[in-house]
Amino acid sequence: GAVVSQHPSWVICKSGTSVKIECRSLDFQATTMFWYRQFPKQSLMLMATSNEGSKATYEQGVEKDKFLINHASLTLSTLTVTSAHPEDSSFYICSVRTSKYEQFFGPGTRLTVL
Amino acid sequence: AQTVTQSQPEMSVQEAETVTLSCTYDTSESDYYLFWYKQPPSRQMILVIRQEAYKQQNATENRFSVNFQKAAKSFSLKISDSQLGDAAMYFCASSNYGQNFVFGPGTRLSVLP
């Protein structure tokens, strides 16, 4: 498996500001990480696939200029929500792919945009 | 494309009793994995059990077991001797070879003392 951490666990920001969320793989060299968004009482929705050293692949309907993903090392991927608005308030979860079939999830980050 | 369906938005079970959560999926692949994840109020996704599609034997993990019906594309989770700590959202998920996870909508399980 893999131990995955996220920072911060909860962030509150003002509308129009940018917020960066970090996802760290503590014990696994992760070439691929995933970013999910989960609205209240809903399932996880994949936002993008983060590949180390290359551009992220975004799912249909996810604005790549709004949700900037950087995967500069095998242990760190960051998600930056640019010009955040209240509708971006959600729970963001990252995961680390450890094999062709398995992922291990971080504890999530709650984003509240005022 | 993969799809995963969970037809039970909410379920409840009496403590120490057994409950079964339903999941159906659709995939055109022959090589895939199926998973059940638990999401407690902390919202940390916890792997409960997984099943390799090529294995006919149903997976078991202590009080958790699955009924994998490949032809019917059904993958139900049975929780035996339910405990208060089992109360959570349960998500069924599928993963095709090298591709992403697809999650079902989830089933909220309540355990009654």
Q: Distance of alpha carbon B63 from its chain centroid, rounded?
A: 13
List chain A pLDDT tens, one digit each, 114 residues: 789 999 999 999 999 999 999 999 999 999 899 999 999 989 999 999 998 888 999 999 999 999 999 998 999 999 999 999 999 999 999 999 988 788 999 999 999 999
Q: Do B44 and A100 touch (CB under 8 A)?
A: no
Say if residue A8 is preceded by a cis peptide, omega within 30 of 0: yes
**Max alpha carbon distance in chain B (Å)?**
42
Please count the other Cβ atoms lying within 10 Å of the Cβ belonging to residue B7.
11
Give the count of beta carbons closer than 10 Å to the beta carbon of residue A38.
21
- Gyration radius of chain B's alpha carbons: 13
Helix (H/G/I), strand (E/B), else coil: B59: coil
3-state secondary structure of A86: helix
What are the pLDDT digits (tens) for B43-97? 999 999 999 999 989 999 999 999 999 999 999 999 999 999 999 999 999 998 7
Residues of B whose CB is below 8 A from A46 = 100-101
The pLDDT, as a whole number, for residue A114 is 96
- Residue of B39, B96, B101 best to disrupt the A interface, most CBs of A under 10 A: B101
Spatial CA neighbour of B77 closest among B35, B15, B31: B35
Distance from CA of B102 to the nearest CA of A (A): 8
CA of B52: which chain A residue's CA is closest? Answer: A101
Question: Over the stretch B5-55, which tens digit does the pLDDT of each residue have?
Answer: 999 999 999 999 999 999 999 988 888 999 999 999 999 999 999 999 999
Alpha-carbon distance of A79 to A35, in angstroms, equals 8
Q: Is the pLDDT of residue B98 over 70?
A: no
Question: Is the Cβ of B8 closer than 8 Å to some Cβ of chain A?
Answer: no
